[in-house]
Amino acid sequence: MIDLLALPCKRITYICNFVDTGTLPRMREVCKILNVTVCDLISAPKGGILYFDVRPTEIFEGKLIGQKIALGLRPRDRLLWEMCLVSKFGLEGVKKVVEQDRLRLLRLNWKNDHEVKNVIEFLKTRIHERDIEVVIFDRLSPEMLRIFSKFIDDNTVRNFDFFPREQGVIDYSYWIDKMINWKVYRAKFNDLPTTKDSYNFMLDMANVVERLWIVTMENESASQNIPVSIVRDILRRKVNSLVLYTMGDGYSISDVESLIKMFHTMDKKIHFNTYTNIPVMEGLFGLYDLKKEGWKFTRTAHLDWKLF
């Protein structure tokens, strides 16, 4: 048995961070020390989560089953999170789902959706009004996407990566609303088709995020570049960094030159990575550095542009 009140105030505050929001107000009634601690905790911003990754656990007979949740936590946080889970699901229950991870990710595996829903309900009040560095949704069913995206709603998300379960099946307006709500800084969408609706989605995203990664579908019907006119429109909006992985033949030297000319007329510093069919080269074009190495990928960036 640990005497909570005997701990330093900072330790009490840190432990209380893992108490659900419904319990916190009741703790104020225990004594004066806890009352002050809880009041400070409620008014202060909570610690961030580095990584929140959800994907199917495994493939069985061609079907994606179960869910794997990976929480990226600071070293001191992981033990408290495990203790929090043990208090709810018991030691044996947690042992079954917690994986050891050298990267200090807390990985939780569940075989059915019902178990996942129970865990989400439990974690909801503990992952609340926090800053999450990276959220990844990878090949989730429509139902699980709704559950987990709603779960994230009361938090801010810096980086959002999305992999659809079926190529090209994406509810565009839904994810625009979510990215606005989460205040996403960088978004990466995979397996986008090269269609008019998809181009409109790219333009809508360009109004929401500052950095955008787009990966187009890998099939014959998508073997074309995103039109240069769309690239121009994307970069005229909020986006200042654009990375395109397309299945086409790559942009020509004239395409690249015309884009660099446009960059010089803009009042922001641009970073643009994409496939091109220009020769291997490296050079300075006005205020922009262009570098082509290896097979296709070409990087164009303002001299003062910073990656982070």
Q: Which of the residue ranges 186-195, 208-217, 219-228 would you say has the lowest mean pLDDT?
A: 219-228
Which residue would you say has higher pLDDT here, 191 or 107? 191
Confidence tier at 42 by pLDDT (50, 70, 90): very low
Mean pLDDT of the chain: 79
If we measure between CA atoms, which residue out of 99, 103, 100, 108 comes closest to residue 127? 108
> Which residue in the block uniquely carries the two structure tokens 């893992």?
18
Q: What pTM did the predictor assign?
A: 0.79
Q: Is 188:213 a contact under the CB 8 Å cutoff?
A: yes
Burial of 28 (0-12, 13-18, 19+ CB in 10 A): middle
pLDDT for res 44: 46
pLDDT of residue 220: 45
Q: Which is higher by pLDDT, 67 or 257?
A: 257
Q: b/e for 209-221, b at 16 or more Cβ within 10 A?
A: bebbbbbbbeeee
- The tokens describing 5, both together, are 């009140």
The amino acid at 203: L
More confident residue, 89 or 291: 291
Neighbours of 121 (CB within 10 A): 12
Going by their DSSP bridges, the two strands 63-65 and 186-192 should be labelled as: unpaired
Q: Does residue 76 surpass a pLDDT of 80? A: no
- For residues 85 and 95, the answer to whether their CB atoms sit within 8 Å is no
Quick one: pLDDT band at residue 68, thresholds 50, 70, 90?
confident
| CATH fold label, 1-44 | Monooxygenase (1.20.1280)
Q: With cut-offs at 50, 70 and 90, classify the pLDDT of residue 117.
A: confident
pLDDT of residue 223: 56
The pLDDT, as a whole number, for residue 105 is 64
pLDDT in tens, 242-280: 999 887 778 999 999 999 999 999 999 999 999 898 888
- Answer for the pair 147, 44: CB distance below 8 angstroms, yes or no: no
| pLDDT at position 101 over 70 | no
Looking at residues 149-159, what average pLDDT do you find? 92
Task: Supply the pLDDT for residue 43.
Answer: 45
Length of the chain: 308
Please name which of 54, 84, 31, 211 lies closest in space to residue 145, comparing C-alpha atoms: 54
Task: Name the nearest CA neighbour of 292 among 252, 236, 242.
Answer: 252
Strand pairing partners for 211?
A: 186, 241
Kindly tell me if the per-residue pLDDT of 102 is higher than 60: no
How confident is the model at residue 50, as a pLDDT?
79
- All structural domains of the chain with their residue ranges: 1-44, 50-302
Task: Taking residues 12-18, report their average pLDDT.
Answer: 62
Residue 24 pLDDT exceeds 60 = no
C-alpha 306: how far from chain center: 20
Whole-number percent of the chain with pLDDT over 70: 66
Interatomic CA distance for residues 301 and 283, integer angstroms: 11
